[in-house]
Chains A and B, each alone.
Chain A
Amino acid sequence: MKKVLSVLAAAVLLAGCSSSSDGDSGEALKIAHIPKLGTIGYFQAADKGVQRACAELGAECAYKGPTEITAAAQVKEIQAAVQAGYNVLIVAANDKDALVPALKDAMAKGVTVVTYDSDVAQDGRSVFVNQASSEGIGQALAKSASDLAGGAGDIAILSTTPDATNQNVWIDFMKKELAANYPNIKVVATAYGLDKPEESTTETQGLIQKYPKIKAIVAPTSVGIVAAAKYVSGSASKGKVAVTGLGLPNDMKTYIKDGSNAQASLWDVENFGYVSVYVAKHVRGGGDVAVGAKVPSGPGDKGDAERTVTAGAVGNEIILGPATVFTKDNVDEYDF
């Protein structure tokens, strides 16, 4: 009892110290950054960008990552952020539908909601900041797979969960691109590794056992691609089965360089967080985010200083830019 009280008391003190002053005149921006999961490097990298932008704007920013990838955990964070007086939420959604009621509720209370990384239904947010156009990601995946497979042959896909919206869209575009421009490449199977190293490895083994002739595995997930590359690099398939997909350069460096015939692509995650903050500021200031509108994306944006709102799969979105492909020639230039 005493113990819990002292822990709680310490926690109060900690929290007391962290609330800082507001900079701007007029309404101060108070931003809650709510990623899918707080405890992994990808979103930590995005938060670096968020914090950089917040520092420039003199805004108060908090990183409110849940410890479970569930909608229920995010809903609690959203509710608490609204109660704590945050006026902007930047959310990477764990579920496209389940967060909508909570987000609508927040918007009804005058809070600005911008999604990034993974979207919700259109009436749950003002605008979605997309990492790259889904079509572009599909094309990049198709090109990389074809390059690694030598322009012809069977390939397989290792995705996350079967109902992951992002991945399903990317895979669709990739298949369309393959059918249109790489007729000799055939997708023989799609497996699902649930974004866990254990399942992803087992599924990779299964793919290679079931389809011994595949020349490449495409994993549009940062967990799946590492698991697949690790397995292949230590198996008899090394050099025969190539691995590509979406992954962090640091995670993939070893396999890109060890002769496993691996590649990875990804957008600039930190810039992603940075731009999201400026977009949110624009929305908060009453700026237009209808399709065709121009949105200033901050002085530090590594792309353009201004971005255009386009019509995406769900609704209005701002596309960050093409993904970078990491190969053995350039991977050492990146560190994230």
Chain B
Amino acid sequence: MFANLKLSSIRRSWDTAIILLLALVLIFASATTGTFLTSTNIFYIFSNTSEIMIIAFAMTFLIILGEIDLSVASILALSSSMLGYSYVRGVPIWGAILICLATGTICGFINGYLVTKLGLGSLAVTIGALALYRGIANGLLGENTVNEFPSAATDFGLKSIGSTFMPRTLPLILLFGIFFALLLHRTPFGRRTLAIGQSPEAAKFAGVDVVKHKLIVFTFTGFMSGVAGMVYTFRFSTAQADNGVGLELLVISAILLGGVSIFGGIGTIWGVVAGVLLAGSVESWLTLQEIEAKWRTIVTGILLLISVAAPVLVQKSKARRERMALKKSG
């Protein structure tokens, strides 16, 4: 128990470490690459990570709960497809956006229902859902992708605010970030999330409705995947079934990089934001340095390993030092 407490405090300080690491990477990258700290490049980093960030806000809650949703990228694709599908059939763009968000929410709810009410394992069942949702998107659109959207919508996805480094989607993302940060760290809902993650049994005995709580989190993860679907559609100005293929692993890596424990119970929103931006900045820097993509794959893996190994190694060396100190004094 004691060791556990200590480990968790170190994990918490890992959030700070990751923010420091992000700062270090930013300084190092801008010192070595002239084009790194330009408003264009910052704009690119923000917009290239926007969908990952949006989904990560919600998925953080799921992972803290000790659950996972591998179907988020497929929900993104399905809601994006629904957006395009309804828009070309004459639904006004705001209506199509509502349909897109509703689609995401429904998919999330279905996942939650399968996991909480039917008692199926989330890792397994969301692999099935991953195939199902993208499959529906495939069947729905067939070979017709939709690429005609009102320019106001595509400008929202593509352009920056004035000539600044800020994409027009950034205020929306900030808003969600603040909302989810407050939700996790300042509300009873957030405390319950952490409590369930620490020990579902204890939370249950303390009177938390675990099933309902998880269902809510799955549902809003679906909703956020729908939001990401909308942003993706407008950013690439295309609605199609293979939008965002493979994004789920990037989301999960970014969250884990941000110090959220895969065992549940530990994690912060600012850590996750730092994790997403760290992954995005390192990739951007390596690309600007013209490091080939194949090497970048390896760096991604090493970063992930460091994110889990560093806190443990730090703790081990601390323990060893304490033992040495004890020996000396004794």
Direct contact of A and B (CB under 8 A): yes
Given contacts A77-B287, A80-B288, A97-B238, contact A1 B293 (CB under 8 A): no
Within 8 A of B (CB), among A48-90: 62-68, 70-73, 75-77, 79-80, 83-84
Whether the pair A15, B306 counts as a contact (CB closer than 8 A) is no
Given contacts A3-B302, A12-B32, A83-B35, contact A64 B293 (CB under 8 A): yes
Q: How many interface residues does chain B have, given as a range?
A: 35 or more
B23-56 vs A: 1/0 string, CB under 8 Å?
0000010001001001011001000100000000
A11 interfacial contact with B, CB 8 Å: yes
Q: How far is the CA of A4 from the CA of B21 in the complex (A)?
A: 11
Q: B residues within 8 A CB of A38?
A: 292-294
Q: B residues within 8 A CB of A62?
A: 290
Q: A residues within 8 A CB of B295?
A: 11
Q: How far is the CA of A83 from the CA of B41 in the complex (A)?
A: 8
B136-167 vs A: 1/0 string, CB under 8 Å?
00100111010100000010001000000000
Q: A residues within 8 A CB of B189?
A: none
What is the chain B residue whose CB lies nearest that of A95?
A: B238
Whether the pair B299, A98 counts as a contact (CB closer than 8 A) is no
A154-184 vs B: 1/0 string, CB under 8 Å?
0000000111000010000000000000000
Q: How far is the CA of A186 from the CA of B288 in the complex (A)?
A: 52
B310 interfacial contact with A, CB 8 Å: yes
Given contacts A163-B143, A163-B241, A168-B143, contact A8 B293 (CB under 8 A): no
Whether the pair A97, B145 counts as a contact (CB closer than 8 A) is yes
Q: How far is the CA of A95 from the CA of B138 in the complex (A)?
A: 15
Whether the pair A101, B35 counts as a contact (CB closer than 8 A) is no
Within 8 A of B (CB), among A1-24: 1, 3-4, 7-8, 11-12, 14-15, 18-19
Q: How far is the CA of A70 from the CA of B236 in the complex (A)?
A: 12
Whether the pair B237, A101 counts as a contact (CB closer than 8 A) is yes
Given contacts A7-B299, A70-B245, A101-B154, contact A162 B283 (CB under 8 A): no
Whether the pair A97, B147 counts as a contact (CB closer than 8 A) is yes
Given contacts A1-B310, A79-B44, contact A11 B297 (CB under 8 A): no
Within the complex, the shortest CB–CB distance from A52 to chain B, in Å, comes to 20
Q: How far is the CA of A4 from the CA of B303 in the complex (A)?
A: 7
A249-280 vs B: 1/0 string, CB under 8 Å?
00000000000000000000000000000000
Whether the pair A4, B306 counts as a contact (CB closer than 8 A) is yes
Whether the pair B143, A162 counts as a contact (CB closer than 8 A) is yes
Interface size on A, residues (CB 8 A): 42
Whether the pair B288, A162 counts as a contact (CB closer than 8 A) is no
Whether the pair A76, B240 counts as a contact (CB closer than 8 A) is no
A39 interfacial contact with B, CB 8 Å: yes
Most buried by A among B48, B142, B238, B284: B238
Within 8 A of A (CB), among B231-251: 235-238, 240-242, 244-246
Q: A residues within 8 A CB of B106?
A: none
Within 8 A of A (CB), among B259-288: 283-284, 286-288
Q: B residues within 8 A CB of A28?
A: none
Given contacts A18-B290, A77-B287, A98-B237, contact A162 B142 (CB under 8 A): yes
A100 interfacial contact with B, CB 8 Å: yes
Given contacts A97-B145, A98-B236, A98-B238, contact A67 B289 (CB under 8 A): no
Most buried by B among A65, A70, A105: A70
What is the chain A residue whose CB lies nearest that of B310?
A: A1
Q: A residues within 8 A CB of B211?
A: none
Whether the pair B293, A11 counts as a contact (CB closer than 8 A) is no
Whether the pair A83, B40 counts as a contact (CB closer than 8 A) is yes
Q: A residues within 8 A CB of B123?
A: none
Partner of B293, one of A65, A71, A162: A65
Whether the pair A12, B289 counts as a contact (CB closer than 8 A) is yes
B174 interfacial contact with A, CB 8 Å: no
Q: B residues within 8 A CB of A79?
A: 44, 48
Partner of A1, one of B21, B44, B145: B21
Whether the pair B287, A8 counts as a contact (CB closer than 8 A) is no
B291 interfacial contact with A, CB 8 Å: yes
Q: How far is the CA of A108 from the CA of B111 in the complex (A)?
A: 44
Q: B residues within 8 A CB of A168?
A: 143
Q: How far is the CA of A14 from the CA of B290 in the complex (A)?
A: 9
Within the complex, the shortest CB–CB distance from A220 to chain B, in Å, comes to 15
Whether the pair A76, B236 counts as a contact (CB closer than 8 A) is no
What is the chain A residue whose CB lies nearest that of B139?
A: A162
Within 8 A of A (CB), among B291-313: 291-297, 299, 302-303, 306, 310
Binding site for B on A (CB under 8 A): 1, 3-4, 7-8, 11-12, 14-15, 18-19, 38-39, 62-68, 70-73, 75-77, 79-80, 83-84, 95, 97-98, 100-101, 105, 121, 161-163, 168
Q: Closest 4 A-B residue pairs measured CB to CB?
A: A98-B236, A97-B147, A80-B287, A97-B238
Q: 30 pairs across A/B with beta carbons < 8 Å?
A: A1-B21, A4-B306, A7-B299, A11-B286, A11-B291, A11-B299, A15-B289, A15-B290, A15-B291, A39-B294, A67-B293, A70-B245, A76-B283, A76-B284, A79-B44, A80-B290, A83-B35, A83-B40, A97-B236, A98-B237, A100-B237, A101-B158, A101-B236, A162-B138, A162-B142, A162-B143, A163-B141, A163-B143, A163-B240, A163-B242
Given A11-B299, A72-B236, A98-B236, 4 other A-B residues pairs in contact with their CB atoms under 8 A: A11-B291, A18-B290, A65-B293, A105-B158
Binding site for A on B (CB under 8 A): 21, 28, 32, 35, 38, 40-41, 44, 48, 138, 141-143, 145, 147, 154, 158, 235-238, 240-242, 244-246, 283-284, 286-297, 299, 302-303, 306, 310
